[in-house]
């Protein structure tokens, strides 16, 4: 009982009580020649999210300049980007590592509402 009270007090001090702690939403994004699937991701402002990237092809990149996000996507590995979107709008993302003919069409959109 004392241990529970101590843990509850510690969490409250850190602002992470069970009622207010928010687990990040995980969004899986697959990079394939020459597309991101899904091509559009909808997020809510202020809600934590983890973008998880995979590819089975070649090394690719993910860049969302308007959100200041960037990751390398390596075959056989999961790349993760954790963030909390703060501003609303539509933000384009693209592959920023040349992956072959069709690379320039490899784009998508993150919509933050």
- Report the pLDDT value the prediction gives residue 2, as an integer from 0 to 100: 53
Phi, psi of 6 (to 5 degrees): -65, -45
Q: Is it true that domain 23-112 has CATH number 2.20.28.160?
A: no
pLDDT of residue 103: 82
The pLDDT profile of the chain, 113 residues, written as one tens digit per residue, is 455 544 444 444 444 444 446 799 999 999 998 999 999 999 999 999 999 999 998 999 999 999 999 999 999 999 999 999 999 999 999 999 988 788 888 999 999 99
**Cα–Cα distance measured from residue 88 to residue 11, given in angstroms and rounded to the nearest whole number:** 30
* Spatial distance between the Cα atoms of 43 and 31, rounded to a whole number of angstroms: 19
pLDDT at 64: 97
**Predicted TM-score of the model (pTM):** 0.78
Report how far residue 64's alpha carbon sits from residue 76's, in angstroms, rounded to the nearest whole number: 22
């Amino acid at each position: 009982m004392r241990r529970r009270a101590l843990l509850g007090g510690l969490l409250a001090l850190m602002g992470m009580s069970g009622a207010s702690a928010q687990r990040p939403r995980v969004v899986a994004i697959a990079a394939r020649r020459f597309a991101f699937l899904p091509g559009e991701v909808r997020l809510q402002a202020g809600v934590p999210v983890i973008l998880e990237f995979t590819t089975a092809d070649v090394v690719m990149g993910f860049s969302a300049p308007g959100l200041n996000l960037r990751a390398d996507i390596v075959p056989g590995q999961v790349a993760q980007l954790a963030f909390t979107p703060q501003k609303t709008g539509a933000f384009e993302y693209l592959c920023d590592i040349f992956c072959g003919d069709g690379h320039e069409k490899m784009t998508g959109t993150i919509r933050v509402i």
